[in-house]
Amino acid sequence: MFKVVDKSKKDSETSLSPVDFANVPKREIDLKSLGINVKPDPTLGNKIEGDIAVDAFSSRFRRGAVRQSFRRWPDGEIPYAISTQYGPYSRSIIANAMQEYHKKTCLRFVPRDPLRHRNYIYIYPDDGCYSLVGKSGGRQPLSLDSGCIQTGTIVHELMHVTGFFHEQSRSDRDKYISIIWENIMEGAEDQFEKYGTNVVDLLGEDYDYSSIMHYGPYAFTGNGRRTIVALKPGSGDMGQRRGFSTLDMKKLNKLYSCSDKTPSITTTAKPTEKCEDTHWRCVFWSMSIFSYCERSKQIAQVECRKSCGNCDSKLVEIEENKTNGFLFVRYFIIIFYILYFIINKIDSLP
């Protein structure tokens, strides 16, 4: 039976493989067709602002001492591990969400190396969808339960990880939206708090109705009526969970000093200045008979540039023959070991 999440399995840490990035489906499965309870907006949970974990709001945060810039991940590198309870489909959707960041920003989600990474996110299927805001230190949880396995929802939660709050939390929101307090369900009023610039860094950018981080117009409604009303034109996409808005990408790239230009249709990951591997399996992947370096852009251009010989485009063009040579060596080694095994078996026969 197809399972998005299998909680009968032991929960332990693992990472995504090249196969997960290569097997992203062209169309996502309707989770409701599998009997999974999916909310209209899965990010509206029972945490602070729906999907922000309580630990993100320490007493130091409440005093306004923390801004996004202080919670950034060094060099835009975000180490991660994921639970073994996710099935192949879930892994491919999580990979697809990460790939959105790799395509459109300079941020990189890299498999956690225990020897290098003390601070990392752990993606696991707890109760609902939630995350901390920015880098909190140590192993920090990012929950993606069965109803959260949608690319847009995961992109939203990962944007919390990078250091972003919800758009309607901005200090200047009252110029752009009106909160209809009487329509909010009882006890959910605190989900609509706004924060000063000592907490939320506006990055000098305009308010964005289309942000993947904005609540929808019926968020936390108690009577089926709107809780948020736009005060200006251009709010048709308010609450969308399809993917980044143009301003989302611009803010991400500005926060992490990626580029002065807004990315749009970039299809390949931007190489880092240093040519180095970011995954401990790179050497094995580069020598594998499955030709991961040739089959996976994620491996060849992001995680294993050094082992795959892709430190720059010129090197790739000049050394095509060398790549073919590596393939020959790989096959030769495999055939040698197979023959060695067969000969030893024959010699051991009576």
Q: What HEC string does the chain produce?
A: CCCCECCCCCCCEECCCHHHHHCCCCCCCCHHHHCCCCCCCCCCCCEECECECHHHCCHHHHCCCCCHHHHCCHHHEEEEEEECCECHHHHHHHHHHHHHHHHHCCCEEEECCCCCCCCEEEEECCCCEEECCCCCCCEEEEEECHHHCCHHHHHHHHHHHHCCCCHHHCCCHHHCEEECHHHECCCCHHHHCCCCCCCCCCCCCCCCCCCCCCCCCCCCECCCCCCEEECCCCCCCCCCCCCCCHHHHHHHHHHCCCCCCCCCCCCCCCCCCCCCCCCCCHHHHHHCCCCHHHHCHHHHHHHCCCCCCCCCHHHHHHCHHHHHHHHHHHHHHHHHHHHHHHHHHHHCCC
Total-model pTM? 0.72
Which residues make up each annotated binding site for Zn(2+)? 156, 160, 166
Q: How confident is the model at residue 302 (pLDDT cuts 50, 70, 90)?
A: confident
Say if residues 215 and 239 touch (Cβ distance below 8 Å).
Answer: yes
Q: Which residue has the higher pLDDT, 114 or 333?
A: 114
At the fourth CATH level, the homologous superfamily of domain 13-162 is Collagenase (Catalytic Domain) (3.40.390.10)
Residue spans per domain, the chain? 13-162, 282-347
Q: What is the pLDDT of residues 157-175, one digit of tens each?
A: 999 999 998 999 999 999 9
For residue 157, indicate whether it is catalytic: yes
Catalytic member of 157, 205, 276, 303: 157
How would you classify the pairing of strands 13-14 and 77-83? antiparallel
User: For the segment 172-214, what is each residue's pLDDT rounded down to a tens digit?
Assistant: 999 999 999 999 999 888 889 888 887 788 889 999 999 999 9
